[in-house]
Amino acid sequence: YLQHLCYENDKIKKDVRQLKGIPVLVGLLDHPKSEVHRKACGALRNISYGKDNENKVAIKNCDGIPALVRLLRKTNDMEVRELITGTLWNLSSYEPLKMVIINHGLQTMTNEVIIPHSGWEHEPNEDSKPRDAEWTTVFKNTSGCLRNVSSDGAEARRRLRECEGLVDALLHALQSAVGKKDMDNKSVENCVCIMRNLSYHVHKEVPGAEKFQKPSALQAPGSAGPQRKKKDDAGCFGGKKAKEEWFNQGRKSGESDKNYDTLDLPKRTEPSKGFELLYQPEVVRLYLSLLTESQNYNTLEAAAGALQNLSAGQWTWSNYIRATVRKEKGLPILVELLRSDSDKVVRAVAIALRNLSIDRRNKDLIGSYAMRDLVSNLPSGQQRPAKNLEEDTVVAILNTIHEIVTDSSENARSLVQALAIEKLVAINRTSQSARETKAASHVLQTVWSYKELRNALTKDGWNKSHFQPTVAVTPKATKNGKPGYDDTTLPLMEKNQDGYSTIDQRDKDCKYKTDDGSADPTEREPLKNDTNRKHYIRSNRPAVSLVDACDVKPQPVDSWV
């Protein structure tokens, strides 16, 4: 009866707390009867749902979290397990409880739910067939809980990465989803978000990362070198074929790229496992499959964010990831998503392209084939495109363009041919955003620095004054004097259809600090996912992206949620 009274009734929930009812309910979790467990867990799930975090704290203060985890270990009642994991999912939305849940429940949730429901087996029999994932409510709840706690910070990421079997099971579940073309459910979304979060700062945080930090030691083909000649290196997009053909070619799964050298990957004495799986080049194909097939905006954003994270950082594995995306025909897939109807998808894709363009061959290809799509998303000064683009988004696209035209007069020429100068000058002179103005100014200065372009620019009516900054632009450095990475905190607020709290309930006005001391963009509530339609791609629709342009040459960007 109490369970029903508490359903979406904040006053009753408060009364239960003030009348000391929560410790009584927690005490009933150790009762011998399953029916009592069912009712007590149902009441706790309803009490823990909602914005009143005092209820969540009250459950924690009477040792409710370890009691829930204990019951999860010993009960076989599926309804009780659903209620337990639903309660933990709700509790995980409150920031101070995330590490408490990790400390008491991470390994249990992994062993009791994630591994068995994912279909992954630690030591499979030779005769046994690989099992598919089971998209149960218990798996959805547990993956939602882990999705929340994975956003808590470096220590939380370390604990999840090192939790035995977790990454292996999540990866197996996602591969199962791709194989069955069943990737638009909430469980898949949760799994991809966890993988994206755990990929954040892998180049700094995983054990032994320092051994791979020197980019000169094992540099992937094409990650450095002179500028391309005009017609070179179009392999990813199908050479001289019509644009439609290279998009079609890029979307064929498993097609190898014979135009490039074989990647000289490190020799393995045994298969990768655990956190090593996060950054192996083989994972690229999984994310590209999700980006090609999924209709869920949150899943698309997370998959692009994972590639964004993996291609950030100056270590050997990010070099391999950048080259592998090209070899797996991933660049056309990403470029096409620049036309997505979802702002947050385009934002993540644009930043991923920026990081991928650190690879010289990628930069040349992106400069040739993505420039018009990037430019089409830019506003013309104060006049915004069809949908209002967030400031972060416009700045991100400008930073991506800046990365592409840096050290490439040919890409700068492509930018001019995409009719970008008029938009850039308008933003530089009339934008109400200092960040947009600064980012546009960086691009304009870089374009004007190529003397071979000035003749054509002058013929089009532009002169030096159009390419000068309207505000003082000073590059920002980190404490050690080197430019820092821009760390992106992606949207963390959403309400799940069946009443569980999904993702973080952080204060949306809170700002987080990046490594260089600059503030990250505020968190935003993501667009509602329309499950009844494909992520419609409208070629006339401007897109979006995110990055603080604090450096003259913006650095790679990570994302986490």
Instruction: For CA atoms 22, 23, 25, 29, give the dihedral sign.
Output: positive
Provide mean pLDDT across the span 199-204. Answer: 89
The reported pLDDT for the residue numbered 234 is 41
Give the span between the Cα atoms of 399 and 548, in whole angstroms.
Answer: 8
Strands 557-560 and 486-489: parallel
Q: Please answer whether residues 54 and 85 qualify as being in contact, where contact means their C-beta atoms are separated by less than 8 angstroms.
A: no
Provide mean pLDDT across the span 85-114. Answer: 97
pLDDT in tens, 76-96: 999 999 999 999 999 999 999
Instruction: For CA atoms 302, 308, 311, 312, give the dihedral sign.
Output: negative
Least confident span in 57-61, 199-203, 384-388: 384-388
Give the span between the Cα atoms of 401 and 382, in whole angstroms.
Answer: 20
DSSP string, 115-144: HHHHT--SS--SSPPPPPP---HHHHHHHH
Q: Tell me the CA distances in angstroms from 29 to 65, 70, 90, 412, 500, one per residue in order.
A: 11, 9, 17, 65, 20
pLDDT in tens, 466-514: 998 875 544 443 333 333 333 333 333 333 333 333 333 333 333 333 3
Q: Please answer whether residues 41 and 87 qualify as being in contact, where contact means their C-beta atoms are separated by less than 8 angstroms.
A: yes
Residue 397 has pLDDT above 70, yes or no: yes
Least confident span in 109-118, 164-173, 177-186, 311-320: 311-320
The reported pLDDT for the residue numbered 165 is 95
Residue 17 has pLDDT above 80, yes or no: no
The reported pLDDT for the residue numbered 47 is 87
- Report which of residues 263 and 342 the model is more confident about: 342
Residue 255 has pLDDT above 80, yes or no: no
Chain centroid offset of residue 436 CA: 23
Residue 287 has pLDDT above 80, yes or no: yes
Residue 227 has pLDDT above 70, yes or no: no
Chain centroid offset of residue 39 CA: 38
Q: Please answer whether residues 320 and 263 qualify as being in contact, where contact means their C-beta atoms are separated by less than 8 angstroms.
A: yes
Give the span between the Cα atoms of 5 and 19, in whole angstroms.
Answer: 15
The reported pLDDT for the residue numbered 560 is 42
Give the span between the Cα atoms of 501 and 494, in whole angstroms.
Answer: 7
Provide mean pLDDT across the span 204-217. Answer: 65
Residue 2 has pLDDT above 70, yes or no: no
Q: Could you tell me the two tokens for 376?
A: 């089409």
Give the span between the Cα atoms of 439 and 144, in whole angstroms.
Answer: 36
Residue 207: HSE in the Cβ half-sphere, 13 Å Cα cutoff: 7
Residue 365: HSE in the Cβ half-sphere, 13 Å Cα cutoff: 34
What is the band of 46 on the pLDDT scale with cuts at 50, 70, 90? confident
Residue 68: HSE in the Cβ half-sphere, 13 Å Cα cutoff: 36
Q: Tell me the CA distances in angstroms from 311 to 16, 202, 266, 393, 556, one per residue in order.
A: 49, 10, 18, 19, 8
What is the band of 536 on the pLDDT scale with cuts at 50, 70, 90? very low
The reported pLDDT for the residue numbered 121 is 85
The reported pLDDT for the residue numbered 105 is 97
Mean pLDDT of the chain: 76
Least confident span in 43-52, 69-78, 394-403: 43-52
- Report which of residues 558 and 4 the model is more confident about: 4
Residues 6+ positions from 108 with CB-CB distance below 8 Å: 69, 72, 73
Least confident span in 2-16, 189-203, 240-254, 438-452: 240-254
pLDDT in tens, 339-383: 888 889 988 999 999 999 999 999 999 999 999 999 998 887 555
- Taking only Cα atoms into account, the Rg of the chain, rounded to an integer number of angstroms, comes to 25
Among residues of the chain, what percentage have pLDDT more than 90? 51
List the one residue out of 154, 158, 178 whose CA is nearest residue 167.
158
Residue 421 has pLDDT above 70, yes or no: yes
Give the span between the Cα atoms of 321 and 480, in whole angstroms.
Answer: 27
Q: Please answer whether residues 499 and 83 qualify as being in contact, where contact means their C-beta atoms are separated by less than 8 angstroms.
A: no
List the one residue out of 381, 199, 154 whose CA is nearest residue 303.
199
Residues 6+ positions from 382 with CB-CB distance below 8 Å: 426, 430, 431, 432
User: Which stretch of DSSP H or E encloses residue 559?
Assistant: strand 557-560
Phi, psi of 469, deg, nearest 5:
-65, 145
Q: Where do the domains of the chain lie, and which CATH numbers do they carry?
A: 1-91 (1.25.10.10), 204-560 (1.25.10.10)
Chain centroid offset of residue 23 CA: 38
Least confident span in 96-110, 310-324, 442-456: 310-324
Angle in degrees, 0-180, between the axes of helices 434-448 and 421-430, rounded to the nearest 10: 140
132 burial via Cβ count (<10 Å: 0-12, 13-18, 19+): middle
Q: Please answer whether residues 308 and 557 qualify as being in contact, where contact means their C-beta atoms are separated by less than 8 angstroms.
A: yes
Helix (H, G, I), strand (E, B) or coil at 560: strand
Give the span between the Cα atoms of 21 and 131, in whole angstroms.
Answer: 43
What is the DSSP code (8-state) at residue 549?
-
Task: Write down the pTM of the prediction.
Answer: 0.77
Give the span between the Cα atoms of 502 and 118, in whole angstroms.
Answer: 20
- Report which of residues 34 and 141 the model is more confident about: 141
User: Which stretch of DSSP H or E encloses residue 194?
Assistant: helix 186-199
List the one residue out of 432, 315, 301, 415 whose CA is nearest residue 363.
415
